[in-house]
Structure formats: C-alpha cells, structure tokens
Amino acid sequence: MEHIKQNFSIKDLEHLSGIKAHTIRIWEKRYDILNPERTDTNIRSYSNENLQKLLNIAFLNSHGYKISRISKMEDKQINDLVNRISASSSEENRAKNSFKLAMMSFDDRLFQRTFNSLREKKTFREVFYDVFIPLLEEIGLLWQTDTIKPIHEHYIVELIKQKIYLNIADEKSEVPNVDDEKLYVLFLPDNEIHDVGILYLNYELLNSGKNAIYLGPSLPLNNMEYLMEIHKNIIFVSYLTISPVNTNIKEFIRDFEEKICHEKNHELYLFGQRIKELKETELSSNIKIYHSISEFVNTL
C-alpha cells in the first residue's frame, strides 16, 4: 500500500473534489467542515478522512444540498445520504452487483464467471463502457463513504486491468507493423499510478489498427530520446488524474515541448481530470486535450 497517499494538500483536494481551494477555506472557516493539521510553516495537511468527507460534501452539494445544511449533519448522516442518493440515481444491474460481491469477498471465480457471462452477449468495448466504467464510479463512491478500503479497490481494479491486458495482447497479435505508420506512445508522468484509462486507450488504438505502445508510469521525458531515434512519426499520449504532483500542468507541457519538441513539433494528447486546468485556446497546436475516451475514439 505504499502507493496510497495518506496526506493531501489543499490543491490535491481541489483537483480531486472539483471544489476550489478558496471555497474549501471559506467552508472550513465558516462551517468547520474539515480539521486539517498544519505544518510548522502553517500549511494545511489533510488526511484520507478529510478527503472522503469533502468528496461526500461535494457530491451532496452537486445534488442541491446547501453547505449550511450539510455542515449540521453528522459524518454518518452524510455517508448514509450519499448512499441513498447514489442508489436512486443509478440503476444497478446483476453484473455490477456480482462484481462488487466478488470485490468484497476477494472471489476471483465469481469475477470470472460474471465477466464470461457478459462477454457472451457483449463485446469487450461494451463491457468496459456499460459495466466497468459505472462500476469504477460506484467503487469510488463506496470508498468516499468508507464502505470499502483501498485493498478492495486495488483488488477489483487489478482484475479489470488483467482483462484489458488480455484484450491488448489479442489485438497486438493482429496489428500490422508498418514502418511509415504513426506510432502512438502512451505513458504516465511521475507519481501517476491510475492507469486503467490509458491501458484502455491502448486497447482502442490497437483495435482501430493503429501502432501503439504503453511505456508505463513515472517515465522521465528525457528517456524518450532513445525512442525518437528509431521512430520519427510519434504521437505522445498521457493521462493526468492527480500528477504531476505539486506541478502546474502547464509546466509539464513546457517540459514536454523543451525535451521532446526541440527538433520536431510532436503531438501530445492529454486525458484525465487535470486537463480541466487547461484552456484549449492557450495551447500550442500540437497539444490536444480530450474530455473522454469516447471523444477520442470517435476521431480514429
């Protein structure tokens, strides 16, 4: 569990909850909703419990509950209300319930039986969009309300990733290796460990007959030089959920342009929560942002 963050800055909370840091400070002062610790230099430090509570508050606030009302609730009342709203606003199906049961009981066989049953009627793409994406969203909500622990989330996410890898392997066995074809290079920046999205992007590219490779997380940009010596026509793809940690995303883009684009203006496609910090009108023509996987797939 060494990859699970235990302390968060107010900027982390802003990125994860969508609530501006200024608003969080006001809510703290006016309604006493969070109790962060402070460093010797008076910088706020938030725990997992603080993060979970803020996510729940943001969820209720987005469903019409005023912060003045939420602030008067006990933590259990907040959790119960979030669960009730979630249950009424999304239709559960047997497959998602079976996957959640498999997650809670660490039951590989149940997961496999449920997946195989889905695949008898659906393509892998349909399983991912119709079941896995809603399932992951619900699991995130379960974690917010302290219904599950990181071990449960890690377990089910790894099983889903295994299915993506298997389908990637199937696609790679059929993709032609054309020397003059564009190569899509997928990678994650330092400290970014949320790789389900970019793994699935890899599958979609291969399924569309494109040449694509995934280089994994925490790859130093200067290492790309070795790849560019061999492949000249490269499109880079990255998925930014939390990382670059403590770094403005614009600095990450500038770093990319300095280290990767000094000889050729390579394209960089960006996905994930942190692209919300960017304005397309302020980006160079070689930097493209996509707000969803399906938006990108429709361009292939």
- Does residue 4 surpass a pLDDT of 60? no
Q: Are residues 147 and 194 in the same domain?
A: no
pLDDT at 180: 57
Q: Are residues 277 and 230 in the same domain?
A: yes
| CA distances (Å), origin 240, targets 137, 212, 216 | 17, 19, 13
| 252-275: average pLDDT | 90
pLDDT at 193: 79
pLDDT at 128: 95
| 190-194: average pLDDT | 78
**Per-residue pLDDT tens digits for 198-224:** 999 999 999 988 989 999 988 888 899
In SS3 terms, 185-211 reads as EEECCCCCCCCHHHHHHHHHHHHCCCE
- Does residue 91 surpass a pLDDT of 50? no
Tell me the pTM: 0.71
Residue 177 lies in a domain: no
Residue 267 lies in a domain: yes
Q: Are residues 210 and 280 in the same domain?
A: yes
Q: Are residues 81 and 104 in the same domain?
A: no
Overall domain count for the chain: 3
- Does residue 90 surpass a pLDDT of 60? no
Residue 141 lies in a domain: yes
**Which amino acid, one-letter code, is at 180?**
D
Give the integer Cα–Cα distance in Å for 73 and 76. Answer: 8
Q: Which band of pLDDT confidence, cut at 50, 70 and 90, is reported for residue 243?
A: low
Q: Are residues 62 and 117 in the same domain?
A: no
pLDDT at 3: 44
In which domain, by residue range, is 114 found? 94-172
Where among 172, 195, 229 does a domain terminate? 172
Q: Are residues 25 and 105 in the same domain?
A: no
Residue 178 lies in a domain: no
**Per-residue pLDDT tens digits for 151-184:** 999 999 999 999 999 999 998 887 566 545 789 9
| 99-111: average pLDDT | 91
Tell me how crowded residue 263 is: count the other CB atoms within 10 A of its CB.
Answer: 8
In SS3 terms, the chain reads as CCCCCCEECHHHHHHHHCCCHHHHHHHHHHHCCCCCEECCCCCEEEEHHHHHHHHHHHHHHHCCCCHHHHCCCCHHHHHHHHHHHHHHHCCCCHHHHHHHHHHHHCCHHHHHHHHHHHHCCCCHHHHHHHHHHHHHHHHHHHHHCCCCCHHHHHHHHHHHHHHHHHHHHHHHCCCCCCCCCCEEEEECCCCCCCCHHHHHHHHHHHHCCCEEEECCCCCCHHHHHHHHCCCCCEEEEEECCCCCCCCCHHHHHHHHHHHHCCCCCCEEEEECHHHHHCCHHHCCCCEEECCCHHHHHCCC
Q: Are residues 133 and 164 in the same domain?
A: yes
